[in-house]
Amino acid sequence: MTVQADSCILVTGALGQIGTELVNALRQRHGSDSIIATDLREIDGHSVIASGKFAIADVLDKKELENLIIKHSVGTIYHLAAILSATGEKNPELCERVNLGGLANVLELAREHNLRVFSPSSIAVFGPDCPPFAPQDAPLNPTTMYGMTKVAGEVMAKYYSEIHSVDIRGLRYPGLISWKAPPGGGTTDYAVEIFHHAINSSSYNCFVRPDTKLPMMYMDDAIRATLELMDAPIDSLSSARAGYNIAGLSFTAEELSEEIAMRIPNFICNFEPDIRQKYADSWPESIDDSFAQKEWNWSPKYNLQQLVEEMLKNLS
Ligand SMILES: NC(=O)c1ccc[n+]([C@@H]2O[C@H](COP(=O)([O-])OP(=O)(O)OC[C@H]3O[C@@H](n4cnc5c(N)ncnc54)[C@H](O)[C@@H]3O)[C@@H](O)[C@H]2O)c1
């Protein structure tokens, strides 16, 4: 995607796990001055994105977002602000309000100001009736409030793209594993926490069973997928564009702990499932991403060994 000379990119939820890395990738591509990072929270001076443009913005405040869009001649929004699955189950009303209200504001502003939009979906759109190898057109019957907001978000995105010709694109991200910013309260957070505990205390109490197998992805692959989808010619994208399935890798919690123990021999992982086991059990084990492969040449790079080595090297 090329940014017009007079057009900037605004990122909502920029201080989160994905935003922290996406903002840096966008700054490298388009120049720091073209990227406006925003979040509800004040930025910490030590944040890896502290050096560029930043503004406080609540996605539920449409006027505040509009002022930024006009002030900075924004042409594209990467809308990352959301309440994730585990936090959302503790506070379903907030999850519904932020995830649907924030997206409604972004989509309406996109229609009014002719903006392009990236809005992520999630594997949480799937429910217990989804086959273990989830197809693009699987039934979407999630059991979490978070999953419901993501299904509704895809429907809203389709409406704005088909009826109002807004160029909106989305990915059903798997659980994302990264080291630059902590995860924000999702069910797959164990796959990040385990590395911190392995390095700091050589033991971890994992909150899902050892046989829990979920779709995951290393953050570098997720950022590349995001940029590649936004670069793809619009004519190559089908109606899956509101939420493409993308696969990275799938592994059980036990396979992950064993892979870490091969590199940290005294590491011990105990398994003490909590309520998040139920959310994990409602999701598929792996993802059929043939639409993404065919329509914009998606292909992941990181396998489990590479991911574990990268995480341990960067966190140590
Ligand atoms: N991280 C993952 O594993 C994962 C997986 C699937 C989908 N996703 C999706 O990707 C997107 C980004 O996820 P993330 O992991 O970076 O989340 P995160 O929780 O790490 O970050 C979300 C950010 O949104 C901000 N925020 C919350 N409410 C806000 C509001 N009202 N206005 C403005 N900002 C607000 C928070 O302060 C936070 O910095 C979300 O839509 C999420 O559903 C993430």
Q: Which helix (H) or strand (E) holds 236?
A: none
Domain map of the chain by residue range? Answer: 8-174+218-245, 175-216+248-286+302-315
Q: Which of 78, 118, 173, 217 maximizes ligand 1 atoms within 8 Å of its Cβ, making it the mutation to test the pocket?
A: 173
Ligand 1 site, residue 153, Cβ cutoff 6 A = no
The pTM for the full model equals 0.96
Percent pLDDT > 90 in the chain is 95
pLDDT at 2 over 50: no
CA triple 95-197-184, angle to 5 deg: 15
Between the CA of 263 and the centroid of ligand 1 the distance, in Å, is 31
Between the CA of 128 and the centroid of ligand 1 the distance, in Å, is 24
**Active centre residues (catalytic):** 146
Of ligand 1's atoms, which has the minimum distance to the CA of residue 18?
Answer: 16
Farthest CA pair distance, the chain: 58
The DSSP secondary structure of 162-207, one letter per residue, reads: HHH---EE-EEE-EEE-SSS---S-GGGHHHHHHHHHHHTSEEEES
285-312: pLDDT as tens digits = 999 999 999 999 999 999 999 999 999 9
Instruction: Please state at what angle helix 102-113 crosses helix 145-164, rounded to 10 degrees.
Output: 10
Give the dihedral sign, CA 244/140/186/102. Answer: positive
Ligand 1 site, residue 86, Cβ cutoff 6 A = no
Write the DSSP symbol of residue 41: S
pLDDT at 5 over 60: no
Ligand 1 site, residue 81, Cβ cutoff 6 A = yes
Task: Give the residues across from 162 on adjacent strands.
Answer: none
Ligand 1 site, residue 184, Cβ cutoff 6 A = yes
Ligand 1 site, residue 65, Cβ cutoff 6 A = no
- Average per-residue pLDDT for the chain: 96
Of ligand 1's atoms, which has the minimum distance to the CA of residue 177?
Answer: 3
**Euclidean distance between CA atoms 177 and 192, whole angstroms:** 6
E strands, 46-190, are 54-56, 74-79, 116-118, 121-122, 133-134, 168-169, 171-173, 175-177
Q: Radius of gyration of the chain from Cα atoms?
A: 19
Look at the domain 175-216+248-286+302-315 and name its fold: UDP-galactose 4-epimerase; domain 1 (3.90.25)
Look at the domain 8-174+218-245 and name its fold: Rossmann fold (3.40.50)
